[in-house]
């Protein structure tokens, strides 16, 4: 540790806290991470730790922030990541498969194991000489003006005191740092639960022809069973199994009392999945695993003077439906770090009130709020898209027009999913742009509709024999419409 | 105490907690109130206790709940209440006075001293044989399933345990009971600060002709200095002084650095008030008194099984601009009590899970939410009304038409203020009705406008000499309009 360097306390050694530690250490700061849970890397602790479920989908924002450490952490994490190039919809009782690509150029999001990613990041942070990690210590309270922390050793139960020039809260949705922050600033704060919960299940690997384990479904997709009021999803794991998550209203969970109820329900809605899961495993996992709740948390401001800031779920817990929770948390880290540079924050502490650090934290609150609001809203909207819209003809038409326009005029029309998952464009900008693109899509839709109608009439009147089906006509109408739009927007 | 009676722990001996204790005691329950502050009635504690400022305006809802105890608590409190029959606007620099009555039948709201009211209610509760109060004990946490409370003795610092069948949280905006409740239920929760703060000042009594203290302004009004972006108000006290509260954006408070800034500001906006306050007292109080913040808090649900419920500010802290905070808290108590009757909750505990109590608490959450949402919104809207709208001609016209229609067709048109302050009609119903009355007011406004215009034209053309001013004409137009509306709505 450097003796005159800035002392930073990071509360929480989750993915966001560990990454923040690496960024701070890169700046020459002394970093001490406090984590309330035991060290998850030790075999004896694995069983004790109740890991967060729902697989992570790592995409561009997360990868950019990992890469920004200069330690090739993106490559490290991607070693065990499984690329998913689209959604695989399981339609109807029979589970008819329909693939919808995520990107128009084959871009992928990546299924990663949350525990593995977290362990890798803890190890990467700990490897740095100016990072220290103390496990089994839970923050009780922090006096942000004095820069003191009171922590409880979870094993001995004794209270330990610590000091820091800057306290960074990466301690999740039920953040203790945020609670302390609320005593120092007039914080606008909200928490809302959606009426839906989730339950984790699994589809095991099957035994292949060569006796080796094999994926039971296409591993290059995020599988979705969209059932309108509820849905089930599955993400691939390196051991060839799938982690399955059933999302539905709590009232529906409460209607399943016993094995019979469960199997009836699955037979009716997820026939193909039951076969892949196996009834015994399904029953065992469904009744063993907790029914988790989904909370949205918003806060503002995120900081107090030059003393404290909250990042990740502590500041903006969102529902998991855009796969952006961790990506957004990692982006928090990257953006905060870029503000440290922009405001020329020094490696050593500058007097009792560090103006440049305060300005950087203030700028973070000022600039980041609208993006965090946007992604929380997008994540919620995406639940309806995933469980319902994906099967609607209008949605599919809009989506295909949008993708196709993106290929024609890539600078003018960009699908929302591409902006959110495959770019670092600010979330709020992506959201605004998505809304304004609605206009062009309307123009195209109208032109296509009109062209088709006229074409059909003409075909019916003069050329019945030459146009047996309408597909050629439709293609022609599409092309005409696209050309006119291309002229309009260029 | 009755040995087999239900044991209720009430956290907080504020006005709502004390009143709830009386209601529970009336049901034959054993009540134990825990209050974190010292006994405010003891002279040695008066200085220690930082009392909540902003005078209280007791109106019908509060009085109804006080009366409902059967102990004539309404009469007790009203002994030191000062009726205010309207607003007195101090317009412009000179403070020209304009009175606006609150009710069309001379109804009054009542200025009461918060500390005095609280003390009276504590004494009333304590006088009952089945109520016990423990001061200086702060709730740390509650296990609602076990029905246990952990409290800290604020003097000895030791942790004390307690038990209760039902825990009622009346512990204000930063409620500890609510924090425990949040660990047991998926609570939607929000807290938002408005960008305005407040500072308490005073106008002392003046010496009358007979040497006795006298009010420096009309004591039968709530005085308002509406200054559009900010405002000052004053409420009378029994000692003939006025408690004055300046509400304005924090940024404006921050622009007043010294005596010169303060006096310039007051001279510009509150010329008449400066004379009444006296410059020395103004300067002393302004710089001594804290600049308080104003928070809005919403929660849902309010209860957990048959174990816990939160009332008053703990459940719905609102901004003070409708004078309904305490009235609404008292109404919470009355309504909860009426649900105990409706669901036939017994004086003794019925087994480990008391179904009728659970149903009563559930009904409270289900039925009360929309009313609490409505009053919080109304309170916020009323700030704009008080600081700005009250001086606008359109507002004054609408208000006078509404009052006047209320006299004509009292069952059909009721001014919002009357419904909120002078009735026990559910807040949400009052709000909805107020919105729908907009239609009739539009009809009348249009008729009046049309009638006036036609009348003016006719007068100008034929009868110029006989109608020197338009007042007769206006009256005629009003009458015509009202008659037509009367026909329409009856």
Q: Could you tell me if B302 and B339 lie in one domain?
A: yes
- Give the Cα separation of A197 and A327 in Å (integer): 22
Q: What is the pLDDT of residues B272-286, one digit of tens each?
A: 999 999 999 999 999
What's the token pair of residue B467?
A: 């109608």
Residues 6+ apart with CB under 8 A from B417: B102, B103
b/e A13-48 (16+ beta carbons within 10 angstroms → b): bbbbbbbbbbbbbbbebbbbbbbbbbbbeeeeeeee
Compute the average pLDDT of residues A117-130.
97
More confident residue, A274 or A413: A274
A447 and A406 part of one domain: yes
Q: What is the pLDDT confidence band of residue A131, given thresholds at 50, 70 and 90?
A: very high
pLDDT at A239: 92
Structure tokens at B381: 């809207």
CA-closest candidate to residue B428, choices B363, B376, B362? B376
Q: Are residues A125 and A206 in the same domain?
A: no
State the average pLDDT over residues B111-121.
94
- Edge-to-edge strand list for the sheet holding A30-34: A131-134, A30-34, A7-11, A166-169, A308-310, A303-304
**B108 - beta bridge partners?**
none
- Tokens at B144, concatenated: 């609602």
CA-CA distance, B400 to B382, in Å (whole number)? 18
Residue A1 lies in a domain: no
C-alpha separations of B438 from B415, B435, B442 in Å: 11, 5, 6
A114 to chain B, closest Cα gap in Å: 25
Record: contact B191-A189, CB cut-off 8 A: yes
pLDDT of residue B416: 92
* CA atoms of A75 and A254, how far apart (whole Å): 43
* Chain segment A300-333, per-residue pLDDT in tens: 999 999 999 999 999 999 999 999 999 999 999 9
Query: pLDDT at position A490, please?
Result: 46
What Å distances lie between residue B411 and A271, B406, B414, B479, CA to CA?
60, 7, 7, 19
- Asked if the structure places residue A323 within a domain, the reply is yes
Confidence band for B475, pLDDT divided at 50, 70 and 90 = low
Q: How far apart are the CA of A58 and the nearest CA of chain B, in angstroms?
A: 28
Could you tell me if A22 and A113 lie in one domain?
A: yes
Q: What percent of chain A has pLDDT over 70?
A: 88
Residue B464 scores a pLDDT above 80: no
Task: Answer whether residue B231 shows pLDDT above 90.
Answer: yes
- B89 is a domain residue: no
From chain A, pick out residues whose CB is under 8 angstroms from the CB of B186.
193, 293, 295
* Shared domain check, A342 and A250: no
Assess whether B362 and B242 both reside in one domain. no
What residue in A sits closest to B294 (Cα-Cα)? A186
Suggest the residue from B179, B184, B190 to mutate for an interface test with chain A (most A CBs closer than 10 A): B190
Number of domains in chain A: 3
* pLDDT > 70: percent of chain B: 88
Cβ-based contacts of B190 with chain A (< 8 Å): 189-192
Q: What is the CATH number of the domain that holds A329?
A: 3.50.50.60
Does some domain include residue A91? no
Q: Does B190 touch chain A (CB under 8 A)?
A: yes
Of A188, A193, A295, the CB nearest to B192: A188
pLDDT at A345 over 80: yes
SS3 A448: helix
DSSP string computed for B461-487: HH-TTT-SSSHHHHHHHHHHHHHHHHH
Let me know whether A198 and A176 are in one domain: no
Summarised one tens digit per residue, pLDDT across range A377-417 is 999 999 988 898 888 877 777 787 888 888 888 888 899 99
Give CA–CA dist A311/B466, Å, rounded.
Answer: 76
Q: Report whether B419 contacts B425 (CB < 8 A).
A: yes
**Residue B442 falls inside a structural domain:** yes
Cα–Cα–Cα angle for A292, A298, A301, rounded to 5 degrees? 150
For residue B236, give how far its alpha carbon lies from the nearest alpha carbon of chain A (Å): 31
Mean pLDDT of B24-38: 97
pLDDT at residue A249 is higher than 60: yes
Residue of chain A minimizing CA distance to B174: A183
Q: Please write the tens of the pLDDT for every residue from B414-430.
A: 999 999 999 999 999 99
Question: How far is Cα A321 from Cα A389, in angstroms, rounded to an integer?
Answer: 13
B191 touches A: beta carbon within 8 Å: yes
pLDDT at A311: 98
Structure tokens at B202: 């005073």
Per CB-CB distance under 8 Å, the chain B contacts of A293 are 186
Condensed to tens digits (0 to 9), the pLDDT of residues B336-352 reads 999 999 999 998 887 77
Q: Select the more confidently predicted residue: B479 or B196.
A: B196
Tell me: ipTM over 0.85. Answer: no
The two beta strands, A82-84 and A109-112, are antiparallel
Residue-level pLDDT at B402: 83
- Contact with chain A for residue B293, Cβ under 8 A: yes
Q: Is residue B69 part of a domain?
A: yes
Q: So what's the pLDDT on residue B459?
A: 60
pLDDT of residue A54: 61
**Which of these three, A274, A293, A312, is where a domain ends?**
A293
Considering the domain architecture, whether residues B303 and B406 belong to the same structural domain is answered as no
If you average pLDDT over every residue of chain B, what do you get? 90
Residue B180: name the closest of B135, B241, B139 by CA: B139
Residue B1 is classified by DSSP as -
Q: What is the per-residue pLDDT for B467?
A: 47
Structure tokens at B68: 């409902």
Q: Quickly state the pLDDT bin for B485 (edges 50, 70, 90).
A: low
Chain A hits for B187, Cβ within 8 Å: 191, 193
Rounded Cα distance between A451 and A38, Å, is 65
pLDDT digit string, tens, across residues B42-100? 988 887 766 556 679 999 999 999 999 999 999 999 999 999 999 999 998 888 999 99
**CA-based nearest residue to B137, from B39, B48, B47:** B39
Residue from B152, B180, B186 whose CB has the most chain A CBs within 10 Å, to mutate: B186
Considering the domain boundaries, does residue A467 fall inside one?
yes
pLDDT above 80: residue B473 = no
Please check whether residues B467 and B432 belong to one and the same domain: yes
Strand partners, A248: A197
Which tokens in the block code for residue A232?
A: 């089930």
pLDDT of residue A468: 47
Domain-terminating residue out of B339, B360, B385: B385
Tell me, what's the pLDDT at A401?
Answer: 80
pLDDT in tens, B149-206: 999 999 999 999 999 999 999 999 999 999 999 999 999 999 999 999 999 999 999 9
Q: What is the pLDDT of residue B483?
A: 54
- A8: closest CA of chain B, how far (Å): 29
Is B403 inside any structural domain?
Answer: yes
**d(Cα A426, Cα A331) in Å, to the nearest integer?**
10
> What pLDDT score was predicted for residue B490?
46
**For the ranges A478-482, B8-12, B388-392, which has the lowest average pLDDT?**
A478-482
The 10 Å Cβ neighbour count of residue A134 is: 16
Q: Does residue A351 sit in the same domain as residue A233?
A: no
Are residues A267 and A406 both part of a single domain?
no
Most B CBs within 10 Å, among A186, A195, A250, to test the B interface: A186
Provide the residue range defining the domain that includes B284.
194-293
Overall residue count recorded for chain A in this entry: 490
- In terms of CA atoms, which chain A residue is nearest residue B189? A191
Which among B250, B267, B293 is the end of a domain? B293
Q: What is the pLDDT of residue A278?
A: 96
- B126 shares its domain with B31: yes
- Compute CA A331 distance to the chain's CA centroid, rounded to the nearest angstrom: 11
- Positive/negative CA dihedral, A93, A96, A102, A104: negative
Determine the distance in angstroms separating the CA of A452 from the nearest CA of chain B, rounded to an integer: 46
Q: Across residues B251-268, what is the average pLDDT?
A: 97
CA distance linking residue B230 with residue A462, whole number of Å = 75
Which residues make beta-bridge pairs with B245?
Answer: B200, B233
Per-residue model confidence as pLDDT tens digits over A251-272: 999 999 999 999 999 999 999 9
């Amino acid at each position: 540790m450097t003796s005159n360097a800035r002392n930073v306390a990071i509360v929480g050694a989750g993915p966001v806290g560990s990454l923040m530690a690496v960024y701070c250490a890169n700046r020459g700061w002394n970093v001490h991470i406090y984590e309330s849970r035991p060290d998850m890397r030790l075999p004896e602790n694995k069983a004790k730790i109740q890991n967060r479920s729902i697989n992570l989908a790592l995409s561009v924002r997360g990868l950019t922030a990992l890469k920004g450490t200069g330690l090739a952490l993106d490559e490290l994490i991607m070693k065990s990541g499984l690329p998913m190039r689209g959604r695989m919809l399981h339609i109807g009782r029979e589970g008819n498969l329909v693939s919808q690509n995520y990107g128009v150029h084959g871009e992928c999001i990546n299924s990663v194991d949350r525990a593995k990613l977290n362990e890798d990041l803890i190890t990467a942070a700990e490897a740095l000489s100016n990072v220290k990690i103390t496990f089994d210590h839970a923050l009780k309270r922090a006096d942000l003006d004095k820069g003191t922390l009171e922590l409880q050793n979870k094993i001995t139960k004794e209270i330990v005191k610590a000091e820091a020039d800057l306290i960074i809260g990466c301690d999740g949705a039920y953040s203790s740092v945020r609670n302390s922050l609320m005593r120092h600033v007039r914080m606008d704060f909200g928490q809302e639960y959606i009426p839906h919960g989730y339950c984790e299940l699994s589809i095991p690997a099957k035994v292949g022809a060569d006796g080796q384990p094999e994926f039971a479904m296409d591993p290059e997709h995020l599988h979705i069973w969209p059932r309108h009021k509820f849905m089930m999803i599955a993400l691939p794991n390196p051991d060839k199994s799938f982690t399955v998550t059933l999302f539905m209203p709590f009232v529906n969970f409460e209607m399943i009392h016993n094995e019979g109820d469960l199997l009836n329900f699955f037979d009716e809605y997820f026939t193909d999945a039951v076969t892949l899961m196996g009834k015994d495993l399904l029953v065992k996992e469904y009744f063993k695993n907790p029914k988790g709740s989904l909370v949205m948390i918003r806060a503002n401001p995120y900081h107090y003077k030059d003393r404290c800031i909250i990042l990740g779920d502590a500041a903006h817990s969102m529902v998991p439906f855009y796969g952006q929770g961790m990506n957004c948390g990692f982006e928090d880290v990257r953006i905060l770090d870029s503000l440290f540079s922009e405001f020329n924050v020094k490696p050593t502490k500058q007097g009792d009130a560090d103006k440049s650090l305060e300005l950087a934290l203030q700028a973070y609150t000022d600039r980041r709020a609208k993006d965090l609001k946007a992604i929380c809203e997008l994540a919620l909207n995406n639940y309806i898209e995933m469980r319902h819209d994906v099967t609607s003809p209008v949605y599919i038409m809009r989506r295909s027009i949008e993708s196709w326009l993106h290929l024609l005029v890539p600078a003018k029309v960009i699908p929302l999913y591409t902006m959110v998952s495959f770019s670092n464009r600010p979330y709020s900008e992506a959201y605004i742009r998505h809304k304004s693109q609605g206009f062009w899509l309307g123009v195209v839709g109208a032109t296509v509709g009109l062209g088709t109608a006229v074409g059909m009439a003409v075909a019916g009147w003069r050329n019945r024999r030459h146009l047996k089906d309408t597909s050629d006509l439709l293609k022609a109408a599409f092309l005409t419409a696209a050309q006119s739009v291309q002229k309009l927007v260029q």
